[in-house]
Amino acid sequence: MALLTPSASGAAQSNRSAPQKKSGGVMAAQALAKQKALEKKAKTYKLPMGELAMFTQQLASLLTAGLPLVQCLEALQDQTEDPCFRIVIRDVRADISQGNSFSSSVRKFPNAFNTLFVSMVEAGEASGGLAEILGKVAGYFESTVKLTKKVKSAMTYPIAVIGLAVALVNVLLIFVIPVFAAMFADFGAKLPAPTQFLIDLSDFLKAYWWAIALGCYAAWWGLGKFTATPNGRRTKDHFLVRAPIFGNLIHKIALSRFCRTYATLIRSGVPILRTLEIVSAASGKVQIEDACEEIAKHVSQGGQVSEILASNPFFPPMMKHMVKAGESTGNVDGMMNKIADFYDVECEATVAALTSLIEPMLIVFLGVVVGGIVMAMFLPIFQLGAVAGGMQ
């Protein structure tokens, strides 16, 4: 048996460690590239409203407990599972440690922290009650998320059923009806009009499905481009509010958001003109943006908010009277909160009513569509049976 010399043994160990070093270098490079990608994504990261509500509530609780702001952010950074948001919190904390204010630090991430959050932080820093104001805005975010979830959950069922119906009809037209068409061709007789229409539609779909798909995509893309323009966005918002079934719900949600945002900002000490700017930006509706612009001009000239609400048809009379009562008693924010609570209850009732109404309508729709297709395809067979019975 040959013995390895010390130099040979060292060379063997070096050869074995070389792949390990190479593998470690590749892993380090991959980790560095992943970190750089996260750093780049964090600059434009859009934080979901639910996550922002949780972050705000936790930050308010930690500040109420007496912890310094930097230490609060460090604790939230450690417990955050989202890697992009963890980088955002880290950068905000580092910016504050360098002597910058909290509001100026979060303003550098407009997609993660919306205008309402930044303005409330500014008001909290100015008044010295940052924890209290963050608690209020956390409640606002939570109520918004709660209402949004209820609306989305109510819309999930009809969208799923309609999608299933469209898929089922396509399967019948593309795969099932051609089988019947081949069978009917052997009859050599003229088919009933409904049956012939379905066969022609099936042939068209099989031959030009790509054109239909391309046309749908082009229409969706064109609609998106149009609604991105000021005129298109105005047309879309007016149409949504006046839509037959969901328009009333969309209108109430917009009113609730307007009142809740206005009340939260005014109660936190934000000046009214700045409040109207934030309410306008957070509304998402051109009707409220126009109203906020009119209110700002009217208030700057010494007028009252209720006077503009009374002349704008977008706001119901009940809202005008309650805001006027709040102005006379000096409790506009309290009245706005009551109006928002009222419309939240109305939205929940509307969602429940729509859900109970949509279910039977969808069942009837499915029955008519699928049953009509089945009847149209079996109609020639029924007629053939009648003819055969008459011949006997």
| CATH level 2 (architecture), domain 139-392 | Up-down Bundle (1.20)
pLDDT along the chain (392 residues), means of 10: 51 54 65 74 85 91 91 90 89 90 90 87 84 88 85 81 85 85 77 86 87 92 91 91 86 90 86 88 87 92 88 90 89 90 88 82 84 85 58 42
With beta carbons less than 8 A apart as the criterion, state whether 232 and 334 touch: no
Residue 256 in tokens: 């609730």
Q: What is the pLDDT of residue 390?
A: 41
Q: Distance between CA 309 and CA 294 in Å, rounded? A: 10
Give which of 104, 145, 150 is closest to 125, Cα–Cα: 104
Query: What is the residue extent of each domain of the chain?
Result: 49-113, 139-392
217 burial (CB, 10 Å; 0-12 / 13-18 / 19+) is exposed
Residue 358 in tokens: 């949509």
Assign domain 49-113 one CATH number from 2.40.128.630, 1.20.81.30, 3.40.50.800, 1.10.10.10. 1.20.81.30
Interacting residues of 41 by C-beta distance below 8 A, sequence separation 6+: 84
Distance separating the N- and C-terminal Cα atoms of the chain: 104
Angle at 109 between CA 135 and CA 256, to 5 degrees: 45
Residue 97 in tokens: 């440690």
Give which of 371, 385, 392, 365 is closest to 162, Cα–Cα: 365
Let me know if the fold of 49-113 is the same as that of 139-392: yes
Interacting residues of 315 by C-beta distance below 8 A, sequence separation 6+: 255, 291, 309
Give which of 282, 288, 233 is closest to 255, Cα–Cα: 288
With beta carbons less than 8 A apart as the criterion, state whether 192 and 386 touch: no
Q: What is the pLDDT of residue 190?
A: 79
Our measurement of the distance from residue 354's CA atom to the centroid of its chain's CA atoms, rounded to an integer in Å, reads: 20
What tens digit of pLDDT does each residue of 184-208 get?
877 767 788 888 888 888 888 888 8
Torsions phi, psi of 200, nearest 5?
A: -65, -40
Q: Give the 3-state DSSP-derived string for the chain, with helices as H, strands as E and coil as C.
A: CCCCCHHHHHHHHHHHHHHHHHHHHHHHHHHHHHHHHHHHHHHCCCCCHHHHHHHHHHHHHHHHCCCCHHHHHHHHHHHCCCHHHHHHHHHHHHHHHCCCCHHHHHCCCCCCCCHHHHHHHHHHHHHCCHHHHHHHHHHHHHHHHHHHHHHHHHHHHHHHHHHHHHHHHHHHHHHHHHHHHHHHHCCCCCCCHHHHHHHHHHHHHHHHHHHHHHHHHHHHHHHHHHHCCHHHHHHHHHHHHCCCCCHHHHHHHHHHHHHHHHHHHHHCCCCHHHHHHHHHHHHCCHHHHHHHHHHHHHHHCCCCHHHHHHHCCCCCHHHHHHHHHHHHHCCHHHHHHHHHHHHHHHHHHHHHHHHHHHHHHHHHHHHHHHHHHHHHHHHHHHHHHHHHHHHC
Which residue type sits at 84? C
Longest dimension (CA), the chain: 108
Q: Distance between CA 35 and CA 90 in Å, rounded? A: 13
Mean pLDDT of all residues belonging to the chain? 84
Q: What is the pLDDT of residue 15?
A: 54
Q: What is the pLDDT of residue 45?
A: 85
